[in-house]
Amino acid sequence: MSEIKTLQPTLLWKWFSQICAIPHPSYHEEQIAQFIVHWAKGKGFYAERDEVGNILIRKPASAGMENHVPVALQAHLDMVPQANEGTVHDFTKDPIQPYIDGEWVKAKGTTLGADNGIGMASALAVLDSDDLVHPPLEVLLTMTEESGMEGAIGLRPNWLQSEIMINTDTEENGEIYIGCAGGENANITLEIERKLNTFEQSYQLILKGLAGGHSGGDIHTGRANAIKVLARFLAKLTQDKPDFQFALSDIRGGSVRNAIPREAFATLAFNEDLATLQQAVSEFEGILKHELVKVEPNLSLTLKPVENADTVFSQNTTQKVIHLLNVLPNGVIRNSDALENVVESSLSIGVLRTEENEIKGTILIRSLIHSGNRYIGSLLKSLAALTGAEMTLSGYYPGWEPHNDAPIVGLTEKVYADVLGYAPVVKVIHAGLECGLLKKIYPDMDMVSIGPTIRNAHSPDEKVHIPAVQTYWALLTKLLAAIPAK
């Protein structure tokens, strides 16, 4: 971890190293929150937490900037906890282990937490610095963004005093985000009818090695969803080999709602010749490797023997589960009419679990427009009605409507062009930023989102580009110095 402290800018990387050392997955941000508040109060800053745990820190303007427009820097405290198969890591107790690999910082076997740890580190570095030029400053650090934006939802009005907000959750160097998709959880539940297991043997079907990634930012890339691929195989097995009788005793995949699942598992109980199943698995793996040769070069589909469970799903439940998951829409539903090369609406099943008496799945719906969310929700409710499942919608958060004419957008463009030597791209993204919720609570606040290049967020392949962090820091500090007088 000390290795990354040698990188430039020193203050930012010092803070990111500290953030990595303190566990902070969603719903477990208390330790890092207390550390930050204690540090801020020790520096003499105003530091307060609200009812849901969000942190607000205020720092006076640097000399000569007292009458300039006040600015809030915003980041979220939590990170997505994802580990590679075989990596033993307790995200609630163990530190992230970052390391340098060429021009990138990565983590050993887990997500890095550059989303949004680099943004948080940059805000804390600005607070920590004694020689930066900046207006009256606020830093807002929100709770539990990755699991439903609960901190932003619970933020109270009139707490912040700033007129401009700079969100730090962008993941592409040279881009300025001025709008984003809204989202909603679709929770699907199917009751399990069980029966005594009279089959002779059980094997677990294991799909792993998929790329995964962000279920908004990467949804257009063609990366495979492990849950959907597994369902496709089971449906194909049922249809192509009707004489091969089997029952499921378990099916699961994914671990967080906002990541494309990289792994999925199903346990099959059966009497028939194992060779029939092995042949089907081998053939299907070949099909997948042909179809996904570029986007999923590391996929594998294998079988391993497991102990026979006492009970299995009935044939009715087994078939319902397979066909429900196989027909479940997933991926891009529609591209935007108004914005070129931008996804308008999508959905992704992120988590599937078998419990004692029911199977539960969590799907994240995203859309730039409210009607898009409603349409996909309606699709899923119709599907549930046809299959006897229950479907509920929860955790809606609004999109962030772009305002190209906001003064901070033009100023950010100008400063970024000076830093880059070329014009940045101003765009709307198909991912959820807290700006949509924050804009609803603070409608008069102008907002932009910036950040360095981060690849494969929400997966253990996550990495942040070191030169892009230097560019981002130059942009952020020059932008703060360029904030106009009131």
The tens digit of pLDDT for each residue in 302-323 reads: 999 999 999 999 999 999 999 9
Catalytic, out of 29, 115, 138, 145:
145
Is the predicted pLDDT of residue 1 greater than 60, yes or no?
A: no
145 in catalytic set: yes
Helices (H) and strands (E) in the chain, counts: 11, 23
β-pairing, 390-397 vs 164-167, is: unpaired
What is the set of domains in the chain, with CATH numbers?
2-181+399-481 (3.40.630.10), 184-397 (3.30.70.360)
Mean pLDDT of the chain: 96
How far is the C-alpha of 271 from the C-alpha of 247, rounded, in Å? 10
Q: What element of type H or E holds 278?
A: helix 274-291
Q: Is 229 helix (H, G, I), strand (E, B) or coil?
A: helix
The verdict on whether 138 is a catalytic residue reads no
Mean pLDDT across 399-405: 89
Please state the length of the chain. Answer: 486
Q: pLDDT tier at 85 (50, 70, 90 boundaries)?
A: confident
204-231 residue pLDDT tens: 999 999 999 999 989 999 999 999 999 9
Per cent of the chain over pLDDT 90 is: 93
The pTM is what?
0.85
- Let me know: does 111 contact 82? Beta carbons within 8 Å: yes
For residues 301 and 237, is the Cβ–Cβ distance under 8 A? no
Choose the catalytic residue: 78, 138, 263, 296: 78
